[in-house]
Structure 1
Amino acid sequence: MTVDESALGFGTGERAVWASDPKCSRGRLHPERPSRTRSEFQRDRDRIIHTTAFRRLKHKTQVFVAHEGDHFRTRLTHTIEVAQIARALARALRLDEDLAEGVALVHDFGHTPFGHTGEDALDELLKEFGGFDHNAQSLRIVTQLERRYATFDGLNLTWESLEGLVKHNGPLTDSAGEGLHGPVPRPIVDYCALQDLQLATYASLEAQVAAIADDIAYNTHDIDDGLRGGLLSLEMLEDVPFLRDLLSDVRKRYPDLEESRMIHEIMRRQITLMVEDVISVAQENLARVRPQSADEVRAADAAFAQFSPSLKEADKSIKAFLYANMYRHSEVMLVREQAANIVRDLFNAYMDKPALMGGHWTEGVESLDRSGTARRVADYLAGMTDTFAIKQHRALFDRTPELR
């Protein structure tokens, strides 16, 4: 399908009718005076950047643990890459770039130390108390756990930013309120009782581009880290047709290129092709549906920001390749089990003696039932960086694994 860009106004720099307008925000849970110099979504973005949770991302793992070297991604560098891609997509589609960036910057706040290993361990430990979900934890952080402002807990973000955080991957319930992927995590249900985030609809297009920017970023940089870390090889990329074509193109153009530059050339091509594909598909969807407001985007029966069928297949193949060859690599699996043991040990120690957490984490803990104590411990543990979790484990136990 050929899109009439002149009719739709792509590239004019003006915000499109389907974009979120900060002047029409649904507001904040706690009303505040508007800023004289920044839009509502700019304020959200700035608040997110200045949080303790954002700074902690520097020492939280993606796949490799921090000890593996300074050149591998952390949650912070991943988040910055996602934000860059989200802004590029938002600009091409004439969206509000600040909202897209804000959702991208906050999307990993709820991740535990040690990447998905820590999340899986905490989810198992909390199974009788409703489990653990990193998106729900992100919501807890920005609505309760950040303690910065005089008149409210959390960041008091706009409805649109919170909606994007919770629903950037799509609706959570059907129209009857039944969870589409199992029960909706309790922290999300509890917050929606205060401010309805409309869990049965899609999020704004700004949140949609932040979500797909996340896919583009980690598909690319996990391959990059795997190659540079020796878990993957260039020859292994030939098992994935999409990657094989990129590798072939770079080798044809630069037959004598050193491997480090070749890796970068492959990665930059992968990002470019995926970003351009999303823009093209989103433009086609917008031209077909012609939403006249951000709410009409939310009410649609599918996301506007998607990959084309061929890129969806490439995305699926890349994820399967990474799962089999990197995430389940014997070296990674050994570190995963050691890291999971650290999380289990700390959780059990804090459940037995909550006073070990110290500081404000012990406030009122004696009045909590076991479920409340478990959630308090989970909040404390989830906020830890890899390095702090290891430090705390060493302080409490005689033997702590080296995680390498």
Structure 2
Amino acid sequence: MLQPPARVWAQAPVPRVLAPRGPGPAPRGPDLAGRAGVGPWHWPKSGLAAPKLWAHQITKVQHRLPPPPSMSKSAVMDPTDLEIQANKERSREAIKKAKANVDETRTYKNDRLTHKERKPNAIIKPEVRDLIRKNVNGKGMKIGDAIKKFNVSRRQIQRIKGEDPNLIRTHKKRPGKFTDDMKTKLLMQLDQKSTTTLVKMVAFIKDRFDVKVSTQAISNLIHDMDISWKQVTNIHAAWNKPNLIEQRANFVNRRGLDLGQRVVFVDEAGFDLHSSRASGYAPSGQPAVLSLVPKAKQITLIGALLVEGFDYYELLNADNTKAKGVGADEFCLFLGSLGARLPKEAIIIIGGHHITRRLQIDQGGIFTTLLSVSQSDRIQLPFDQIICLIKGATQPNGVSRRN
């Protein structure tokens, strides 16, 4: 909208009021301002000492004429005022529109809250619940139509849908890297060798299908296929029976052993080099089967067991020769090598009574105490338990001599 240009009204000229004319003075020289001659401004005024105070005295009188009566108010308004007035009008219109939208939203929500028409905590009959499930879950009726038809709220419809016992919930997962062929080959590998580790499974997938996966992905896949890690070899329950633990304590008390001294258990055992792990994978509800491996020759091991672990051990037939009985000569050689690693006040317990008597004579008092466990004590040394665990954890390439 074009605004009329503002009109500027001319002001009347300002009259100058001069001092009253007095008698003309006699001609004289220049005044204090350096001006020569005599003029009206040089005429003296009574009551003033210096003429410079009144020489240029001018009284300004301003006269502003009112606008003509025929001019409208908008023609003389400032453009800034007009802009402010327009902004106020726009603000009023925006407020009216916002209020109209709020009222419309409230009306829509009130129309949806149909449960206000019914009594609070109203019980829905089982027959009505079944009809709602059949129509909503079975026939695909919209929730809005079910609300109007059965006079129930949206929240109750959702609750009745979730409580349906026949509803099958499926959790959609992001498709992974494993195909059906990969899963089949992996199951066949576990069936042939149940003790395969996760790292070996990752290498198997990489070599067979050239797909790089993580151990966590393999673990999740095995869990989804309902396969669990189970114990292959059963742990003997007699190892931790209360009476057996009590017999071990009595064995220590009868001999008056000082628990502050170093106690070493020495014994021998034989096992197969191809022994596999003690645990393996198997489907849920089925036991894990020990994998069949080629039978190898038995090896014989003599070891010294401390509280901290194995201190020293030797293989008697590491060259794959036929194993022979372990006698006092083998134990003497082993104890000779073990003596440099133990203090003299150590207590050595050996699981052979007839071997211990000969060792006491041959060693000549190298060790402070050399005890044996006879069959009458009827206890099983911890070394025997450790040997059983070694049988399930030994690597296929065997055990080498440890110095």
TM-score range, shorter chain: under 0.3
Instruction: Tell me which structure has the larger Cα radius of gyration.
Output: 2
Q: Give TM-score, length-normalised by structure 2.
A: 0.16
Identify, as 1 or 2, the structure richer in strand.
Answer: 2
Identify, as 1 or 2, the structure richer in helix.
Answer: 1
Which structure has more relative contact order (CA 8 Å, sep 6+)? It is: 1
